[in-house]
Structure 1
Amino acid sequence: MSASPLALPPVRLLPADVLARQALAAPLLDRALRLTRWAGEQRRVDGMGELLDDELTSAVQALGLTGDEGPLDALQAWGVAVDTGLLVLEIEEEAEESTPPGEAAGQAVPGEVYARIGQGGAADGADPYDVLDLWLGALECALAETTAPDYDNLLGDPDGDGEAISPEEADREAEEEAELLDAALVNLYALSALEVADAETGGASAEPAGADGDGARDGRAVPLPVLAASLVLPDEMEQPSEAVLEEVTAVMLRLDEHFRLLEATGLVAYTPMDEALIEEADDEGAAALGEPDDDEIARYGAVRLTPLGVYGVRERLADAGAYAPVLGDLAEAGADELLGALGSYPDHAVRIEAEAWLARREPAAAAAELLAAAKGDGADGPTRRLVCQQVLAVLGAEAEPAVRDVLDDPHLGGLARVWLTERHAPDVPSPTTDMVYWLTIDTVAAQLAADGDSDELAALITELVARHEEFFADAWRVEHPATAAVLEAIGRLHPDRSTAKASRKAAFKARSRSRN
């Protein structure tokens, strides 16, 4: 999986033992473990490590599989058992090269991985992380199989219905499918983080769509057209063209095939597309699906990451070098690290992390540590002070002595006065004009760093400037590294033309002053 260039939101993970139980219950890993137990001391295999025909029939029966897919499911589970080390192949090199396909060349025996997991898995005392590592291995096998080249077309379609492609084309198509699936999983991962936000704030997604066997919250399923559109439509496109809609439909069909195959891993919960829609697309082309209305959206399929899937995608992202934080990871961090990390977190996640961090500390000492870490003129200083305010907001009166200690600090005094005033503390000294202006610049700079030229920042600017009639007469003199940038932002965003013009003039003065 390619590391995402975007900042990934923090997610909430279930405890490892709960995830391990879910992993063992996933159909694919469950079958692989059952086949390993069924194999006993040994099972005959051919030179490729595949079960012989009579053994495959017994394996299908042992798994209780029926229908035309039974042998395929058994072969997939056998492949996972071999690839993950649950089963170890014992085939002499000479036998591997000389034995005809379908004839016995060696045997498969349970391996060290199986011995470590134990027949009962987590229930048998296995380390949950050993179980999860095994599941991740099974997942990688399934992902590789899902996006593997189409060997029928590579070799030439025996029915004459397909066009043969070169090995290079097959590899390129497989790589494109893997990239598409990776992108879809990252988008689902980000949506899973938003589910946490909705649950914390009581939003529309706070009610669970269901619960798994361990009582964990399920996320809302994402309609397949919505997921496909997120992978195809440019952000700035308001009305997609017919060609774009056709591409969305083609991506839906590809994802439908992938998610059907992956559901057995426990990675996703998937409601497939209506078969009639797929046939219609095959007969009439991708454009036949068009853009679904609300009444038909259910026919187009829906998918969500399971709690186990969130864990799995995060592990893959982390292995690829992406920063994929988990809620609660910062509980033991120092205040400096906490403020540095939370600057990229959404508000609901900041509060969750703040509560976990503060729960391990004495309030007054925690407040003093936070305020010390919030000092400084670095480029991230405004963001750190904004986060400091958010974390301090969780504290009560026990933190008051530490907050009062910084009342005379030119960078923290305004912040301290706001905190004390909000709690109706007595004897809060009035701020100086310089302190008010400095805090105003600092606050806008933090919001500018977080959201850029947003509607929310425009509203904040309008409110702050309205409080101070002579703001632009003096603001350009404020000794803050972001003074000019903030005044330029006010000039861009303030709805009143004369105010915006005054701000631009003040920004010019600030730039000139800083050069002198």
Structure 2
Amino acid sequence: MSASPLALPPVRLLSVDVLAGRALAAPLLDRALRLTRWAGQERRVDGMGELLDDELVAAAEELGLAGGEGQADAAQAWGIAVDTGLLVLEIEEEAEESTPPGEAAGRAVPGELYARIGGGVAAAEGAGGAEGAAGADPHDVLDLWLGMLECALAESTAPDFDNLPGDLDGDLAGDLGGDGLPVSVEEADREAEAEAELLDAALVNLYALSAMEDGEAAAGSAEQEADGGGPAVPLPVLAASLVLPEEEAEQPSEEVLEEVTAVMLRLDGHFRLLEGTGLVAYTPMDDALIEETDDEVAALGGGPDEPDDDEIARYGAVRLTALGTYGVRERLTDAGAYAPVLGDLAGVSADDLLGALGGYPDHGLRAEAELWLDRREPAKAAAELLAAAQDDGADGPTRRLVCQQVLALIGAQAENAVRDVLDDPRLGGLARVWLTERGASDVPAPTTDMVYWLTIDTIAAQLAADGDSDELASLVTELVARHEEFFADAWRVDHPATAAVLEAIGRLHPDRPTAKASRKAAFKARSRP
């Protein structure tokens, strides 16, 4: 998984004990473990490490699976057990090379990894495998689950060499590519790589969407609340996040809708295969939709009427489980991405806290701030926050906005610290707002300079957070309407962001003369000694 360029929001993680218990309960890993125990001292395998036909039938029966599909599932679980090291192959090199497919070339036996966690597996099964890994080291279990996940992801996007045109053993001299491989094989490898990139991007977007919505939805489903994972994301929404350009978000072209549809169909196949890993909970697309024409499928969002909830449900929905959130984050951090967890900042200084929380969504900021405050005496914490907010750098406005939000969680115990900064030119306005909102008495009126300074600081923080948003446009329009002489005085405000704020007002204000006056004031601010 490549590191995401996105500023990933913080996520909540369950304890390693609970995650390990859920890893053991994941259907695919559960089957791999059961087959490892079933293998006992040894099971005969061919030169590729696969079970012989009669052994495969017995393996499917052991798992309670029937028919050809059951044997395929058993073969998949056996492959996971071998690839993760639960089972160790003992095949002589000569036998591996000379034994025909389907004939015994060696044996498979439980490995050291299974010996380490085997007791915990049995105990967890006895407890329903729900909330812990019993005697097994939870970190060993999670490492095993991550290995299984990588195998499943690779299998989901692997080239289908069985269905390539031509005979790979025949005379394909005329069809060779630059490296001597058949062109069809080269193309299959490229397509597999593209599928892997698509799936990685989908998981990152699903991770980000889930984290951004965590705590914001009014109520999750009963399944979501029990699992602790993210909210369900409709498959069309996830596909559109991978395809739809921002400029076409309101009126996507027919070509873009067709591409969204194609991505939905590809993701549907991947998520069906991956649900058994415990990574996602997936409601698949209605099979009838897949059989319909491209035009009918692409009609979602493309017709004159908005689809209702029942229609949207036919297109499928996916959510990361709590275990899946852990897994995607592990893959992201391995790739070098910064993917914070709520609670990471509980032990840092107030200075580091204000520097980090500026990029958090509101619910994440509140949750992290509460965890930080839980470790500190309220009055002392307030004083530390205010000291850290006295920053003249480019991120100063954001730090002061975050400081104000964290102070709101402390309550009356912060009052003395807030009153101590009433005369501070950078924090005096913030202090007066905080005291007034809490009905405090004897709050001195702000000076005109302080009002203008706080106004510039607030708009600068909004610009840093959201850029030229509609909300900021409404704010500056209302602000200018309230202060007739705003531009005559604002350019004199001794704030590092004065010119940038006035230029933003010039861009955002709908009245042309007002916008011109703002740009003129910005020029005067930049020209000021």
The residue number in structure 1 matching 2:417 is 402
The residue number in structure 2 matching 1:327 is 342
Kindly state the Cα deviation for residue 338 of structure 1 after the two structures are TM-superposed: 1.0
Deviations along 1:383-438, one digit per CA (max 9) or x if unpaired, are: 11111111011112211222222222221222122212222223222222222211
Aligned mates of 2:337, 2:165 — CA distance in 1: 38
Q: 2:140 aligns with which of 130, 145, 170?
A: 130
Residues 35 and 155 (structure 1 numbering): CA distance in 2 closer, same or farther, change over 3 Å?
Answer: farther
1:287 and 2:302 equivalent?
A: no
Counterpart amino acid of residue 253 in structure 1 = L
The residue number in structure 2 matching 1:453 is 468
Contact preservation (8 Å) 1:208, 1:217: no
1:197 and 2:215 equivalent?
A: yes
Aligned mates of 2:63, 2:34 — CA distance in 1: 7
Q: 2:242 aligns with which of 227, 231, 244?
A: 231
Contact preservation (8 Å) 1:118, 1:124: no
Kindly state the Cα deviation for residue 345 of structure 1 after the two structures are TM-superposed: 0.9
Contact preservation (8 Å) 1:222, 1:304: yes
1:47 and 2:47 equivalent?
A: yes
1:298 and 2:316 equivalent?
A: no
Task: Pick which of 259-268 and 188-197 moved more.
Answer: 188-197
Q: Where does the alignment leave 5 or more consecutive residues of structure 1 unmatched?
A: none
Contact preservation (8 Å) 1:211, 1:217: yes
1:119 and 2:127 equivalent?
A: no
1:503 and 2:503 equivalent?
A: no
Task: Pick which of 86-95 and 433-442 moved more.
Answer: 86-95
Aligned mates of 2:46, 2:489 — CA distance in 1: 85
SS in 1 for 2:247: coil
Residues 240 and 428 (structure 1 numbering): CA distance in 2 closer, same or farther, change over 3 Å?
Answer: closer
Kindly state the Cα deviation for residue 27 of structure 1 after the two structures are TM-superposed: 0.6
Kindly state the Cα deviation for residue 336 of structure 1 after the two structures are TM-superposed: 1.5
TM-score by structure 2 length? 0.89
Aligned mates of 1:186, 1:83 — CA distance in 2: 25
Aligned mates of 1:239, 1:411 — CA distance in 2: 44
Contact preservation (8 Å) 1:269, 1:304: yes
Counterpart amino acid of residue 406 in structure 2 = V
Aligned mates of 1:304, 1:339 — CA distance in 2: 31
Residues 307 and 49 (structure 1 numbering): CA distance in 2 closer, same or farther, change over 3 Å?
Answer: same
Aligned mates of 2:253, 2:476 — CA distance in 1: 38
SS in 1 for 2:38: helix
1:216 and 2:227 equivalent?
A: yes
Q: 1:345 aligns with which of 353, 356, 360?
A: 360
Counterpart amino acid of residue 308 in structure 1 = L
1:149 and 2:159 equivalent?
A: yes
The residue number in structure 1 matching 2:432 is 417
Aligned mates of 1:377, 1:3 — CA distance in 2: 32
The residue number in structure 1 matching 2:304 is none
Counterpart amino acid of residue 112 in structure 1 = E
Count of residues paired in the alignment: 499
The residue number in structure 2 matching 1:512 is 527
The residue number in structure 2 matching 1:169 is 187
Kindly state the Cα deviation for residue 382 of structure 1 after the two structures are TM-superposed: 0.8
Task: Pick which of 302-311 and 73-82 moved more.
Answer: 302-311
Deviations along 1:101-147, one digit per CA (max 9) or x if unpaired, are: 22222222222221222333344322222212211111110000000
Kindly state the Cα deviation for residue 268 of structure 1 after the two structures are TM-superposed: 1.3
The residue number in structure 1 matching 2:11 is 11
The residue number in structure 1 matching 2:205 is 187
Kindly state the Cα deviation for residue 166 of structure 1 after the two structures are TM-superposed: 2.3
Contact preservation (8 Å) 2:119, 2:135: no
Q: 1:264 aligns with which of 276, 285, 294?
A: 276
Contact preservation (8 Å) 1:42, 1:108: yes
Aligned mates of 2:111, 2:255 — CA distance in 1: 52
Q: Where does the alignment leave 5 or more consecutive residues of structure 2 unmatched?
A: 122-131, 169-174, 176-181, 301-306
Contact preservation (8 Å) 1:414, 1:439: yes
Contact preservation (8 Å) 2:281, 2:318: yes
Counterpart amino acid of residue 226 in structure 1 = V
Kindly state the Cα deviation for residue 211 of structure 1 after the two structures are TM-superposed: 4.8
Counterpart amino acid of residue 280 in structure 1 = E
Kindly state the Cα deviation for residue 192 of structure 1 after the two structures are TM-superposed: 1.2
Task: Pick which of 287-296 and 102-111 moved more.
Answer: 287-296
Superposition RMSD on alpha carbons, in Å?
Answer: 2.1
Deviations along 1:310-369, one digit per CA (max 9) or x if unpaired, are: 221121112112222222221112111111111011112111111111011001111111
Contact preservation (8 Å) 1:209, 1:218: no
Contact preservation (8 Å) 2:227, 2:321: no
Aligned mates of 2:289, 2:442 — CA distance in 1: 71
Aligned mates of 2:452, 2:209 — CA distance in 1: 39
